[in-house]
Amino acid sequence: MNHKVSVNKLSVTLLRVLTSGIFIVAGINGHLVNPQKAAARIGQASLKEFAYFFGEPVWLVIVTGIVMVAAGISFLIGFKIRWSAVVLVAVLLPITITIQIGQVNTLGPLFKNVALFGSLLFFIINDGFNSASEMIERERPGPVVQYKNDPGGTRSALKSMKKRLSTLRNGFFVTSGKDTKI
């Protein structure tokens, strides 16, 4: 069964922007500024062999830092949101397995990563949010009322469009008798 859920565009934008911040900051501060420190954390992890399978830890830290910053910025500005989220999940998954899983003292960061997975999966699963421009283009007016002799709902859609256009005059947005410059 297919259910429609209304989501405020601002809340989706805030979710995307706030989620992107951790990847940009962690990519710069945690990976690129001092890669030896992050590589040392890999060496202390209980599942360090998983990371060693992919290569030398310092290079892994540098590469993941670059990818986190690039995909994080792309995610932040709304460019290729779904692909950015996929890339961030691909980077976050081995980090979570290597560093957080199997370490009792990192349960907080483990569940932070689980929350980040949830946020990223929202954008991967929901195809209406592939880019900021698509999100705006897909926004539709409220429910269309169908008239008896208007099976397509065209009359109501035109009424809604006319109402929206009439509120915008000469660069001013008219709201309850007051003009506000946009």
Digitized pLDDT (tens) for each residue of the chain, 182 residues in all: 567 777 788 899 999 999 999 999 999 998 999 999 989 888 888 888 888 898 899 999 999 999 999 999 999 999 999 999 999 999 999 988 888 887 777 688 889 999 999 999 999 998 655 555 554 444 444 444 444 555 555 555 556 555 555 544 444 444 444 444 44
Residues 129 and 146 grouped into a single domain? no
Q: Is residue 36 part of a domain?
A: yes
Instruction: Kindly state whether residues 105 and 168 are assigned to the same domain.
Output: no
Q: Are residues 101 and 33 in the same domain?
A: yes
d(CA 93, CA 118): 12
Of 72, 171, 50, which is closest to residue 42 (Cα–Cα)?
50
Q: Are residues 45 and 123 both part of a single domain?
A: yes
**Cα–chain-centroid distance for residue 142?**
25
Do 62 and 149 have their domain in common?
no
Looking at the structure of the chain, the number of domains it has is 2
Answer whether 0.85 is exceeded by the pTM.
Answer: no
Q: 117 and 30, same structural domain?
A: yes
Q: Which residues of 165-181 are buried (b: 16+ CB within 10 A; e: fewer)?
A: eeeeeeeeeeeeeeeee
3-state secondary structure of 44: helix
Domain range for 169: 142-181
CA distance 38 to 146: 60
> Does residue 16 form part of some domain?
yes
β-strands 172-175, 178-181 pairing: antiparallel
Give the burial string for 10-26 (b: 16+ CB within 10 Å, else e). Answer: eebeeebeebbebbbeb
In a domain, 1, yes or no: no
Q: Same domain for 125 and 159?
A: no
If asked whether residues 96 and 170 sit together in one domain, one would say no
